[in-house]
């Protein structure tokens, strides 16, 4: 594939990024044995973000985990197994989110406060982006918070989201947020090392791809609607959709493994970790239209 290189001085340019969006998934926030929050990982994540902030960089966190935290607190199984009736299952899922989002944000606030950092909660739906006034207001809110040195903590508003207004997953949401706030770097932290030519969990011959300079149709076809976790919603296909949004909006994106949260500063220092999708602006890319067509 001529559009892929494993090494590039683009990595060096990551040192100069000033507005960074970091996304972390549900499976990265919990102990797999119990489903309870991994406080050590959360603390390391917050410390990394606060250190970026102390360097004078703008930081936004997109976090999953509300439904999983609420589900654990309420001692419920997965939403899909809770009810034979879809409407009731969705309502239970939304109830779990309402409980979990409050608990998750409370935990973040406590840890951020230990580092003298103010955090703010922002909950979004698809309507936040496709509606012109909502998008304008959201952009202004993010802009003012970042000017104030606040770290916005973003999640999808699962308590009200239905099929018609849901964004669908936080990989996509993080790319939308990155485009909305004019970020210059998006970091997706997940349970995978980056992009491979095939699923390395099933194909030992799968080759790692260190850098993607142009997101071709062939590469987009590598995405598969699967995930290695029972608590996450995003597989590689959602990460490639996020990459499409990011690079078309002139934003570099890196997929990296959250096993070591310290990978954040290693990325910023230009180390060859994860897969880098190089910014490749598409002047014809229309974010609201793209989001509106998602999951139709």
| pLDDT tens-digit map of 112-150 | 999 999 999 999 988 899 999 999 999 999 999 999 999
Q: Which residue has the higher pLDDT, 215 or 57?
A: 57
Locate the DSSP E strands across the chain.
19-24, 58-63, 119-124, 151-156, 185-190, 195-196, 208-209, 211-212, 252-257, 275-277
- Residue 116 in any domain: the answer is yes
The pLDDT score that the predictor gives to residue 197 is 82
How many helices (H) and strands (E) would you count in the chain? 12, 10
- Residue 181 in any domain: the answer is yes
The pLDDT score that the predictor gives to residue 8 is 63
Mean of per-residue pLDDT scores for the chain: 86
Distance between CA 68 and CA 227 in Å, rounded? 16
> Which residues constitute the domain of residue 230?
10-293
Whether the per-residue pLDDT at 77 is higher than 70: the answer is no
Q: How many domains does the chain contain in total?
A: 1
Select from 174, 173, 64, 144 the least CA-distant residue to 108.
64
Strands 19-24 and 185-190: parallel
- Residue 2 in any domain: the answer is no
Whether the per-residue pLDDT at 229 is higher than 60: the answer is no
Q: Point out the least confidently predicted range of 36-45, 165-174, 219-228.
A: 219-228
DSSP letter (8 states) at residue 206: P
The pLDDT score that the predictor gives to residue 174 is 95
- Residue 5 in any domain: the answer is no
Q: Point out the least confidently predicted range of 29-33, 146-150, 186-190, 217-221.
A: 217-221
Whether the per-residue pLDDT at 166 is higher than 70: the answer is yes
The pLDDT score that the predictor gives to residue 196 is 86
CATH classification at residue 269: 3.40.1160.10
Whether the per-residue pLDDT at 225 is higher than 50: the answer is no
- Residue 3 in any domain: the answer is no
- What average pLDDT does this structure show over 144-163? 88
CB-CB neighbours of 270 under 10 Å: 15
- Residue 257 in any domain: the answer is yes
- Residue 4 in any domain: the answer is no
Distance between CA 219 and CA 34 in Å, rounded? 36
- What average pLDDT does this structure show over 177-195? 94
pLDDT in tens, 7-61: 467 899 999 999 999 999 888 888 888 888 999 999 999 999 999 999 999 999 9
pLDDT in tens, 237-279: 889 999 999 999 999 999 999 999 999 999 999 999 999 999 9
- Residue 136 in any domain: the answer is yes
């Amino acid at each position: 594939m001529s559009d892929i290189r494993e090494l590039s001085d683009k990595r060096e340019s990551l040192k100069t990024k000033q507005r960074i969006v970091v996304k972390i998934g549900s499976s990265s926030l919990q102990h797999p044995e119990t489903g309870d929050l991994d406080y050590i990982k959360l603390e390391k994540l917050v410390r990394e973000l606060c250190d970026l902030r102390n360097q004078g960089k703008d930081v936004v966190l997109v976090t999953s985990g509300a439904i999983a935290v609420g589900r654990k607190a309420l001692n419920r199984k997965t939403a899909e197994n809770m009810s034979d009736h879809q409407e009731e299952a969705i309502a239970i899922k939304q109830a779990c989110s309402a409980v979990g989002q409050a608990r998750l944000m409370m935990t973040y606030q406590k840890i951020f406060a230990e580092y003298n950092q103010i955090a703010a909660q922002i909950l979004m739906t698809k309507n936040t982006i496709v509606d012109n006034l909502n998008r304008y207001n959201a952009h202004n809110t993010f802009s003012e918070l970042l000017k104030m040195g606040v770290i916005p903590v973003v999640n999808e508003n699962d308590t009200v989201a239905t099929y018609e207004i849901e964004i669908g997953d936080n990989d996509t949401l993080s790319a939308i947020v990155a485009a909305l706030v004019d970020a210059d770097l998006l970091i997706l932290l997940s349970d995978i090392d980056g992009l491979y030519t095939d699923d390395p969990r099933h194909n030992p011959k799968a080759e790692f791809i260190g850098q993607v300079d142009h997101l071709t149709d062939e590469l987009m076809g590598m995405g598969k609607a699967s995930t290695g976790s029972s608590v996450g919603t995003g597989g590689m296909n959602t990460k490639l959709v996020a990459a499409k949004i990011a690079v078309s909006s002139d934003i570099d994106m890196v997929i990296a493994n959250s096993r070591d949260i310290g990978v954040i500063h290693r990325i910023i220092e230009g180390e060859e970790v994860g897969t880098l999708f190089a910014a490749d602006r598409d002047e014809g890319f229309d974010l609201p239209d793209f989001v509106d067509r998602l999951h139709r």
